[in-house]
Amino acid sequence: MIDFETPVGIQKQVDLIHNVAVQVMRPISRKYDEHEHDRPWEYINVMWKSGANAGFRGKPAKEVDTGTGESVMKYRYVLLMHTIEALSWGDAGLYLSTPGGGLGGAAIEAVGTPDQKERFLRRFSEGDPKWGAMAMTEPQAGSDTANIRTTARLSEDGKEWILNGEKIFVTSGYMAGEQSPGLIVVWATVDPKAGRAGMKSFVVESGTPGMKVVRLEKKHGIRASDTAAINFTDCRIPFDNILGSPEVSQSREGNKGFAGAMKTFDSTRPGVAASAIGIARASVDYVKEHLEKNGVPVRYDLPYHKQSAVLRDVLRMEAQLRAAWLLVLRAAWQMDAGISNSMEASMSKAKAGEAVTWITQKAVEILGPEGYSCKNLAEKWMRDAKINDLYEGTGQINRLIVARRLLGYSSKELQ
C-alpha cells in the first residue's frame, strides 16, 4: 500500500518552520510588501542564526531520523519542498530573501566539479548571511535562451573569461552581487553563432570589477524579494569559474555543459511549485476560516452536488491544491532517488503555477470587498501568485517540455 503520510522527522522540521512563518513572517508580511527595497533583516537573521535555512546552504540537511529508522538525508529534496511550502505559506517574498546558495548554489551543485562545489558552496555555511543568485534573463531573452547576448571570451593569455552584457530580474542579485561575499552564476555565450550549443554558465563572485547592480526592480508581487538588473562590462573571472566544458559542440554528447546547466531546473522547478502551493494553501486556509466565522463551515460529509456554490468552489480549490502538491512530491522523490525527473519537474511547475493563480483569484472573489482590500493578505497572495507561472520557465514552456518528453520529440521537432 502507498503511504502518503509525511515521515515523522520531516514533520518535526516542518513544524519548526511553521513557527517561523507564524511568529516572524506573517507579522512583517505587509510591511515589506509596502517597503519593497528594504531588507527584512529580522527574518534573515532568524533563518541564518537558527540554521533553519540548512536546505538552502548548498549542503545536505543535518541528520534527522524520520521516525522510521531512516535518515532524513534520504529525503533531502522532499524535506526541502516541505520547507519551501511552509515558508511561502508565511510569505513568498520573504522566503525568497532566505540567505543561502539559492539558484546559483543549485546550478553549482547540479553541474559543478567537486572542487567548485567545495570552493563556492562552503561559504554558505560560514560567517554572516550570504546569498547566491543566477543571472539568465535579458531584455530580449526570457524563455528563449538561444537569444542570450551576454558574451564570454577568453583573455589573450587564456587564463580568464571576460564577460559583457546585461541581465535583468536576478533574484537576490543585489545581496549576492554587492552586499555579501556571495556569487552569481551568469549564463553567457562563448559563440553567438552556435545558439544554445554556445551557452555556458560562469561563477562571478561578488565584488568582481566590471559587475555592477544598476537597478532594483519594482514588482507587482513578491516585493520583499531582492530582484536586480546587473551589467557586466569587461568583467574578468578565472578560467576555472566556468561550469561544465568550455568546448562548443552541436551534438548531445558534446554539449554537456549546456545540458548540465539546464538540469539545474530539474531541481529548482519543483521548488517554485512548492512555493506556489504554500501561497495557495494560505489562501485556502484563510477562506475556510472566514467562512467558518460567518457560519458557513466546509462540509465534507455531503456529496459535491448538494453543496452550495461557494463550498463547491472551496472543494475545487482544495482538490487543485492537493493534485499539484502530489506532483511536487513525486518530482522531489525522484531527485532523492537519483531518477531523472525533467518531465515531472515541468509537470509540477506547470500545474502549480496554474493552480495558485486560479486559487488566489477565486479566494479574492469569494471574500468579495474584504478580499480586495488591504485589511488582510488575500489580495497580496493573489499578486504574489502569478510569478510562479512565469519564472523558472513559463507555464507554456513547461507544457512544451512535457509534450516533447511524452511524444519523444526534440526541441527542433516540436516548438
CATH number, position 179: 2.40.110.10
Give yes or no: residues 214 and 275 share one domain. Answer: no
Give yes or no: residues 278 and 403 share one domain. Answer: yes
Inform me whether the pLDDT recorded for 63 exceeds 50. no
Q: Find the mean pLDDT for residues 202-212.
A: 97
Give yes or no: residues 134 and 226 share one domain. Answer: yes
The pLDDT assigned to 255 comes to: 53
- Please give the full DSSP string across 218-280, using - where no structure is assigned: --SS-TTS-EEEEEEEEEEEEGGGEES-----SSTTT-HHHHHHHTHHHHHHHHHHHHHHHHH
Contact 386, 221 (CB under 8 A): yes
Inform me whether the pLDDT recorded for 81 exceeds 90. yes
Give yes or no: residues 243 and 292 share one domain. Answer: no
The pLDDT assigned to 185 comes to: 97
Ranges 74-78, 298-302, 350-354: which has the least confidence: 74-78
Q: Which domain-ending residue is among 99, 120, 152?
A: 99
1 domain-assigned? no
The pLDDT assigned to 74 comes to: 81
415 domain-assigned? no
Give yes or no: residues 326 and 195 share one domain. Answer: no
- pLDDT grade for 62, boundaries at 50, 70 and 90: very low
**Collapsed DSSP state (helix, strand, coil) of residue 199:** strand
Inform me whether the pLDDT recorded for 325 exceeds 90. yes
Amino acid at 334: Q
pLDDT, averaged across the chain: 91
117 domain-assigned? no
Q: Find the mean pLDDT for residues 303-330.
A: 96
Give yes or no: residues 230 and 295 share one domain. Answer: no
Active site amino acids: 392
Ranges 73-77, 99-103, 259-263, 367-371: which has the least confidence: 259-263
Phi, psi of 217 (to 5 degrees): -75, 145
| Cα distances (angstroms) measured from residue 317 to each of 303, 324, 327 | 16, 11, 16
Q: Which domain-ending residue is among 249, 278, 310?
A: 249
Q: Which domain holds residue 343?
A: 263-407
Which pLDDT tens digit goes with each residue over 44-56?
A: 999 998 877 777 7
Give yes or no: residues 215 and 293 share one domain. Answer: no
Inform me whether the pLDDT recorded for 105 exceeds 70. yes
The pLDDT assigned to 321 comes to: 98
Which pLDDT tens digit goes with each residue over 178-189?
A: 888 999 999 999
Q: What's the CATH number where 52 sits? A: 1.10.540.10
CA 185 to chain centre: 15
180 domain-assigned? yes
SS (H, E, C) 29-53: HHHHHHCCCCCCHHHHHHHHHHCCC
**Collapsed DSSP state (helix, strand, coil) of residue 295:** coil
Give yes or no: residues 88 and 24 share one domain. Answer: yes
120 domain-assigned? no
Q: What is the pTM of this model?
A: 0.93
Q: Find the mean pLDDT for residues 182-204.
A: 92
- pLDDT grade for 245, boundaries at 50, 70 and 90: confident
Give yes or no: residues 391 and 271 share one domain. Answer: yes
C-alpha span between 32 and 36 (Å, rounded): 6
112 domain-assigned? no
The pLDDT assigned to 75 comes to: 87
Q: What percent of the chain has pLDDT over 90?
A: 78
- pLDDT grade for 57, boundaries at 50, 70 and 90: low
Inform me whether the pLDDT recorded for 251 exceeds 60. no
Which pLDDT tens digit goes with each residue over 10-31?
A: 899 999 999 999 999 999 999 9
Q: Find the mean pLDDT for residues 32-45.
A: 97
Give yes or no: residues 272 and 391 share one domain. Answer: yes
The pLDDT assigned to 299 comes to: 92
Q: Which domain-ending residue is among 220, 249, 278?
A: 249
Give yes or no: residues 382 and 296 share one domain. Answer: yes
C-alpha span between 197 and 192 (Å, rounded): 9
Residues in the chain, how many?
A: 415
Q: What percent of the chain has pLDDT over 70?
A: 92
Give yes or no: residues 355 and 399 share one domain. Answer: yes
Following CA atoms 48, 51, 52, 53 in sequence, which dihedral angle do they give, to the nearest 10 degrees? Answer: 60
309 domain-assigned? yes
Inform me whether the pLDDT recorded for 256 exceeds 70. no
Inform me whether the pLDDT recorded for 65 exceeds 60. no
C-alpha span between 48 and 71 (Å, rounded): 23
Q: What's the CATH number where 362 sits? A: 1.20.140.10
64 domain-assigned? yes
Count of structural domains within the chain: 3
The pLDDT assigned to 261 comes to: 64
The pLDDT assigned to 58 comes to: 57
